[in-house]
Amino acid sequence: MLFDMLRDPAVLVLCAITLAGCSGLPGLLLRHGPLGQRLASAAALLSSLIALPSLVYLLFWRQTSSFTLNWNLPFGPCEIALDPLSAFFLIPIFLVFPAGALYALGYWPAVERRASERSVTFFYGLLACAMALVVVARNGALFLIAWEVMAVSGYFLLVAEHAEEEVRGAGTVYLVASHLGAGALMVLFSTLFFSTGAFQFPAAGSLQVTAGLSTLIFCAALGGFGSKAGLMPLHIWLPSAHANAPSHVSALLSGVMLKVGIYGLLRVISFFPHPPLWWGALLTAAGLTSALMGICIASAQKDIKRLLAYSSIENLGIICTGIGVYLLAAASGNRLLAYLGLAAALFHVLNHAIFKPLLFFSAGSVIHAAGTRELDRMGGLAKRMPRTAFLSLCGAVAICGLPPFNGFASEMLLYLGFFSEAQAGAPYLALGAPVLALVGGVAVISFVKLYGIAFLGAPRTDGSARSHEAPFSMLAPMGLLALLALAGGLFPQLFLALVNPALAALAGPGADAVALPVAPAWFAVAGGSLLVLSAALFLFLKGRAKAVPAGAGPTWGCGYIRPAASMQYSGSSFGALFGSLASTLVRSRISAGKVAGVAPAATKLSYAPEETVLQRIVLPTISIIGVGFAFVRRLQHGEVHVYILYIFATLLLLMLWVH
Amino acid sequence: MIDTLFHMVLVLAMPPLLLGVIGKTKAAFAGRVGAPFLQPYYDLSRLMRKGVVISDTTTWIFKAGPAVTLAATLFAALLVPLGKHAAPVSFEGDMILFAYLFALGRFFTTVAALDTGSSFEGMGAAREVTFSCLAEPALFFALITLTRLSGTMSLTPMLNHVTSPVWVAAGASLILLLAGLFVVLLAENCRIPFDDPNTHLELTMIHEVMVLDHSGPYFGCILYGAALKLYLLGALFVNIAVPFASGNAFVDWALFALSMLVLAVAIGVVESVMARLRLIRVPQLLVAAMILTAFSLVLVVR
C-alpha cells in the first residue's frame, strides 16, 4: 500500500515538499556545531533529487493528480493538485532551493554565523515549502495560509542581519507591502467565493461571472500578485529587500518567489473562459514599462545586489509582456502569437530562475571576499577568484539575453511574436520589438558595469585586494546553474519540452502544437559555431602572441607617470553617461562637504542613486497618508490586556452582526 | 555553392579595402596623395607579426575580448546577403541574431577595455555601450519596416525583396529608413561625426580608446573585426539602397562590390565635410535616427 503510493510521482513531490519544510528542524534541536546545517543541506538535495525527476515525469506525461484532505475548518475540503502548470512552477523551487542550501554551507557557515544560522536555515526550508504549497493549493483558504507563511518566513530570512538599521527598515517595508498584497488577495478570494459559493478554485475556463466581477477579480489579482512579482509601480519593497537579505536568500526570493506571483496571475487568468482584450493590453504595457524602467534604474545602481534586484524587475517585466501578448493573441484568435507569447513568458521564468540565482550567488561570493556591497570599492577580483569570475561572466552574458546562453532563446521567441505582428493590419504590437531592443541595450550597460567594475581592473580597496576564491560548496551550485544556462541556449527544445505541457494546461489542449518559426537546431548551430570560433580565434591569437616578441608592463596611462587604482573608471562614472539620459527615472543625489579657505580641511563627497518617481511622488504621498492616519496610532499603545479586549469586542460585534 | 564561395571570399577579403577607400577619399579632400588603397592589408599583416605588450592588470578576458568579438562578427557575416544573392545561413528570426551578435561583440570589447583598469578605456567603454544602446531601436524599427514590406522574418528574403517596384511603391518610407540606417552605420562603426578613428586625443575617442592597450595580433584582430562590421552594416544598407538585379549572378556580384566601394567613398565624403559632434549631441542624433526609422514604419502602415 505504502509502496504503491510511493510509486506515484505526485506523492513523491508532496513528500519532497514536506521534506523541504522540515529540513531546518534538526538544526533547531541540535544546539552546536555545523551538523544541523549539513543535515538541512542534505535534506534539501534529497528533496530535489526526489522532486525534479517526478516533476519532469508529470510534465512529460501531462498528468494531473489531486488530493483532498477533509479538515474540520470552515473553508470546505482542502484540495491539493498537481497539474502541469503547478508542476512547471515547482521546477524553479526545487532547482534554486537545494542550490542555495549547498551554497549556504560556505556562505553562511554555522560556525561563524552562530547567532542567525539556525533561524536562517529553518526559515529557508520553510519558505521553499510554503512556496511549493502555494503552487499546489486549490483552495483559497489554504492558498492564503501558505501565502502568509511564505511572506512571513521571507521576512525572517531577510532580517537575518537585524542588527543593522538598513536591514530592519527593508524588512518593515517588505512586510507592509507584502500584507497590502495579501489584502488584495483576500478581496480576490472573497469575490471568487461570492461568485462560486466555495473556496475551491474553479476549474480552468469554467468561471462565468459578470464583466464587473471579472474586472474586480483581475484587478485584485494584478494588485496582489503583481506586487509580489515586483511589477512597476508595485515594486517599492523589492530592491531593498533583495539587497539586504543574505545572498542565497536573495537568490531564492528573486529567482523563485517573484515567479510565485506570476503563477498566481496565470492561475487566476486560467479560470476565465475568454479573458478580455484589455487585460492583455494592460499586461503588455505594464510589462514593457517595468522592463524598461527597471533596467534603466538598474544601470545607475552602485550596490551590486540592488543592481541585480532592479534587473529582476526588468526580467519579470519581460515575463509579464509575454503573458500580455498571449492574452492579446488569445482574444483575437491568433494561435501562433499566443504560443510565442506564452512560451516566451514561461521559458523566461525558467531562464530567470537559472541566471539570476547564479548572479546572486556570485554577488554573495564577491561580498564575502571583498567585504562590501559597493561596486566602487571592488575591482580586480578576477585575478584572485578566477572561477567565480568565469561563472559570473556566464551569468552576465546570459542575463543580457546574448547568444549562446538561454536568455537569448526566450527573448528570441518574444521578438518573433512582435515581428510576426508587423504584418498585421494595425501593427501596434510590433512596437514592442524596439522597446525590447532598448531594454537589451541597457542591460548590456548594466552588466558590463557590474562585471567590469567588480571583477576587472585593479583592486580599488584593500578589501578587494585581499579577496580569496570561494570554496567548492559555493562554486558547485554556480557551475551547475551556468551549465544549465548554456544548455538552455544551445538546446532550447529541452526547456520547451517542459514549457509546452504547462502551456497546454493554460491555453487549452493543442495550443502547444504550433510549429516554431525557427527550428531549434539553429540555436545549437549558432551557439556552437560561436563557441568553436571564439575558442579557435583565442587559441590562434595566443599562438601568434607566443611566436612574436612579447612584453609586459603597466596599463598605458596616456603619459601620466603615477597612475593609481583609485583613478580607474568607477561604476558610478561608467553609468553616468546613460544616467544623464535617464535622469527622469533615476538621478544621483550628491552630498558634498564645504571646501573653503586657502588650505581647506579634508572633506567628503558622497553620491547615491535615487529613484525619482519613488522619492518625489510615492514617498511624499505615503508620508501625507501617514499624517492623516496618525489618530489610529492611539489605539496601539503596547498594553496587551487592552489588545485582548479589542479582539473580544470585535468577535462580539461580528456575532451580533451574523445573528 | 558558387554563391556561398563568392560570399565567403568577399566577406573575408574585401572589408579592409573599404577602409583604404575611405582613407584615400579623405586624403583627396585634404589635397594629399594618401596611403595606397591596400594599406589596411599591409597594416594587418604587419600587426600579425608585431610584438605584444600586455598590461599586468589584465586577465584572460583582455585576450578573449578580440577573439569573441571577431567570432561574433564572423558568424554575423554568414547571415547578411550580399547583393541579390542568398546568404549562406538563413532562417526565420536571423535578423534578431544578427543584431544580438553585435551586442555580444560589444559586451566583450567593453569588458576587455575595463580589464585594463585605465580610466580612458573605461570612458570609451561607457560611451560605446550608451550610444549603441540608442542605435539599437533604430535598427529594429528598420527591420520591422522591412518585415512588413517583405512579409518574411529572415534577412535574405527580406533584403532580396527590395526591388525597383518596391521602391516605386514605398520610396518615401525607404528613403527615411536609409537615412536612419546610415546614421546607425556611422555610429556603430565609430565614424565621424560620432567618433574620429584617427584622433590622438584619448578624452574624445570612443572605439579607438577602448583598444589602446591591445597590440600586435590582438590589435590586428580588432582592426579586422571593425572593418568587417563596417562591411556588414554597409551591405545591409547597400542591399536596400541598390534595388537592381540583372539576373546574371556575376554581374550582380560585381554590382554589389562596386556599390560597397561607392558607399565607402560616401563615408569618406561625410568624414571630410563634417566635424565631429560634441559628445552631448550624439544621443540627440541617434534619437533622430530612431524617429526617422519609426516614421518609415508609419509610412508603410498608413
Instruction: Check if A523 contacts B (Cβ < 8 Å).
Output: no
Q: Return residues 404-443 of A near B (CB < 8 Å).
A: 408, 412, 415-416, 418-420, 422-423, 426-427, 430, 433-435, 437-438, 440-442
Among the partner-chain residues B68, B117, B294, the one whose CB lies closest to the CB of A457 is B117
Residue holding cell 543580457?
A400
Q: Residues A384, A468: contact at Cβ < 8 Å?
A: yes
pLDDT tens-digit readout, B31-59: 999 999 999 999 999 999 999 999 988 99
Instruction: Check if A545 contacts B (Cβ < 8 Å).
Output: yes
Instruction: Quickly list H helices, chain B.
Output: 2-13, 15-30, 39-49, 60-77, 94-115, 119-150, 155-160, 164-188, 207-210, 216-241, 249-273, 282-301
Task: Classify strands A65-69 and A78-82 as parallel, antiparallel or unpaired.
Answer: antiparallel
Among the partner-chain residues B67, B213, B218, the one whose CB lies closest to the CB of A556 is B213
* Contact residues on chain B for A458, CB-CB shorter than 8 A: 57, 117
Instruction: Check if A552 contacts B (Cβ < 8 Å).
Output: yes
For range A49-74, the mean pLDDT: 87
Among the partner-chain residues A403, A544, A574, the one whose CB lies closest to the CB of B101 is A403
> How many CB pairs lie under 8 A apart between chains A and B?
266
Instruction: Quickly list H helices, A206-303.
Output: 211-229, 238-244, 247-252, 258-271, 277-299
Which residues 6+ apart lie within 8 Å of A186 measured at CB? A144
Residue A567 banded pLDDT, cuts 50, 70, 90: confident
Report the distance separating Cα A392 and Cα A476, nearest Å.
13
Q: Looking at chain A, which residue has its C-alpha nearest residue B125?
A: A574
pTM given for the model: 0.94
CB contact under 8 A, B130 and A416: no
For range B253-270, the mean pLDDT: 95
Instruction: Check if A521 contacts B (Cβ < 8 Å).
Output: no
Q: Looking at chain B, which residue has its C-alpha nearest residue A423?
A: B148
pLDDT above 70 for A17? yes
pLDDT tens-digit readout, A499-535: 999 999 888 888 888 888 888 899 999 999 999 999 9
A595 torsion bin: left (phi>0), alpha (psi -120 to 50), beta (else):
beta
Q: What is the mean pLDDT of chain A?
A: 90
* Contact residues on chain A for B130, CB-CB shorter than 8 A: 445, 577-578, 581
Among the partner-chain residues B89, B97, B107, the one whose CB lies closest to the CB of A448 is B107
* Contact residues on chain B for A300, CB-CB shorter than 8 A: none
Residue A110 banded pLDDT, cuts 50, 70, 90: confident
Residue A659 banded pLDDT, cuts 50, 70, 90: confident
Give the pLDDT confidence score for residue A602 in this predicted structure. Answer: 85
pLDDT greater at residue A189 or residue A72? A189
Q: Return residues 224-253 of A near B (CB < 8 Å).
A: none
CB contact under 8 A, B122 and A525: no
pLDDT above 80 for B203? no
pLDDT above 70 for B204? no
Burial grade of A423 (CB within 10 A; 0-12, 13-18, 19 or more): middle
Give the pLDDT confidence score for residue B159 in this predicted structure. Answer: 92
Question: Smallest CA–CA separation between B107 and chain A, in Å?
Answer: 6
Give the pLDDT confidence score for residue B245 in this predicted structure. Answer: 81
Report the distance separating Cα A596 and Cα A601, nearest Å.
8
* Contact residues on chain A for B141, CB-CB shorter than 8 A: 434
pLDDT tens-digit readout, A583-631: 888 888 888 888 888 888 888 888 888 888 888 888 888 889 888 888 8
Q: Looking at chain A, which residue has its C-alpha nearest residue B154?
A: A518
Residue B200 banded pLDDT, cuts 50, 70, 90: low
Number of domains within chain B? 1
For range A526-551, the mean pLDDT: 93
Give the pLDDT confidence score for residue A2 in this predicted structure. Answer: 64
Question: Smallest CA–CA separation between A309 and chain B, in Å?
Answer: 21
Residue B201 banded pLDDT, cuts 50, 70, 90: low
Among the partner-chain residues A518, A522, A556, the one whose CB lies closest to the CB of B118 is A556
Q: Looking at chain B, which residue has its C-alpha nearest residue A460?
A: B117
pLDDT tens-digit readout, B169-178: 888 999 999 9
pLDDT above 90 for B279? no
Lowest mean pLDDT among A266-270, A557-561, A606-610: A557-561
CB contact under 8 A, A456 and B114: yes
Among the partner-chain residues B54, B136, B151, the one whose CB lies closest to the CB of A437 is B136
B72-95 in b/e form (b: 16+ CB < 10 A) is bbbbbbbbbbbbbbebbbbbbbbb
pLDDT above 80 for A559? no
SS3 B134: helix
Lookup: cell for B25: 577619399
Range of the domain at B12: 2-301
Report the distance separating Cα A286 and Cα A313, nearest Å.
11
pLDDT above 90 for B211? no
Among the partner-chain residues A530, A548, A565, the one whose CB lies closest to the CB of B52 is A548
Give the pLDDT confidence score for residue A366 in this predicted structure. Answer: 92
For range B230-241, the mean pLDDT: 94
Instruction: Check if A300 contacts B (Cβ < 8 Å).
Output: no
Question: What are the sequence ranges of the domains in chain A?
Answer: 1-178+240-256, 334-508+571-580
Residue A369 banded pLDDT, cuts 50, 70, 90: confident
